[in-house]
């Protein structure tokens, strides 16, 4: 696995994701606060927006607990200058703050992802 210093984490990751090759998975290791939760999903969103305009895809980012999912969604919505529940939303047990037509980035707990996978095994969205 490639190792790189944390200072170049964001720049090199962005290049990899936006590269021509379609990666099936990528393992990122970064220090706490380096942007894995708030920045990487935004890069992925940009990459899928430009790679396939015909198929509207959703980016999902799992979080270990509901509070973390809400907090991340609020932070990223603020960074993207949108309201939570529109382009950026969250899905936790008993609360689904997403828009069916607008949400493209969703923060959700591991349990909610599992529930989605049971309904949509190929995660087509
Ligand atoms: N809700 C928030 N309000 C203010 N700043 C935030 C918020 N969430 C994250 N940040 C800031 O954004 C930067 C990136 O944080 P992020 O959570 O994306 O890092 P991370 O790599 O996922 O960290 P961790 O490994 O601890 O989960 C950090 O400087 C962090 O302090």
Q: Determine the Cα–Cα distance for residues 40 and 44; give it in Å rounded to an integer.
A: 6
Model ipTM over 0.90: yes
Q: Give the Cα separation of 119 and 9 in Å (integer).
A: 35
Chain mean position to CA 104: 9
* β-strand partners of 96: 91
**Residue closest to 94 by CA, chosen among 61, 122, 125, 69:** 69
Q: How far apart are the first and last CA of the chain?
A: 29
Residue to mutate (ligand 1; options 35, 38, 62, 107; most atoms within 8 A of CB) = 38
Q: What is the pLDDT of residue 18?
A: 53
Q: What is the pLDDT of residue 4?
A: 43
Give residues (CB < 6 A) around ligand 1. 30, 32-39, 71, 75
118 DSSP assignment: H
Q: Relative to the CA of 34, which ligand 1 atom is closest? A: 21
Q: Kindly report the number of other CB atoms within 10 A of residue 8's CB atom.
A: 10
- Residues in Cβ contact with 28 at an 8 Å cutoff, skipping those fewer than 6 apart: 9, 13, 36, 40
Task: Give the pLDDT score at 57.
Answer: 80
Q: Which residue reads 């969250």 in tokens? A: 90
Which residues of the chain fall short of a pLDDT of 50? 1-8, 11
The sign of the dihedral angle between the CA atoms of 23, 26, 30, 36 is positive
40 Cα nearest atom in ligand 1: 18
Collect all residues with Cβ–Cβ distance below 8 Å to 21 and sequence separation of at least 6: none
| pTM, 2 dp | 0.83
Which of 7, 9, 10, 35 for a ligand 1 pocket mutation test, highest count of atoms within 8 Å of Cβ? 35
pLDDT digits (tens, 9 = 90+) for 85-109: 999 999 999 999 999 899 999 999 9
């Amino acid at each position: 696995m490639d190792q790189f210093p944390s200072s170049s984490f964001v720049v090199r990751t962005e290049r990899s994701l936006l590269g021509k090759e379609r990666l099936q998975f990528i393992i990122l290791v970064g220090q706490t606060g380096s942007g894995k939760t708030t920045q990487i999903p935004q890069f992925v969103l940009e990459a899928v927006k430009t790679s396939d305009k015909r198929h509207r895809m959703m980016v999902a980012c799992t979080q270990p607990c509901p509070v973390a999912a809400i907090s991340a969604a609020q932070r990223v919505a603020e960074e993207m200058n949108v309201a939570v529940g529109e382009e950026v939303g969250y899905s936790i047990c008993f609360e689904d703050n997403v828009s069916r037509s607008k949400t493209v980035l969703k923060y959700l707990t591991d349990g909610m992802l599992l529930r989605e996978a049971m309904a949509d095994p190929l995660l087509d969205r």
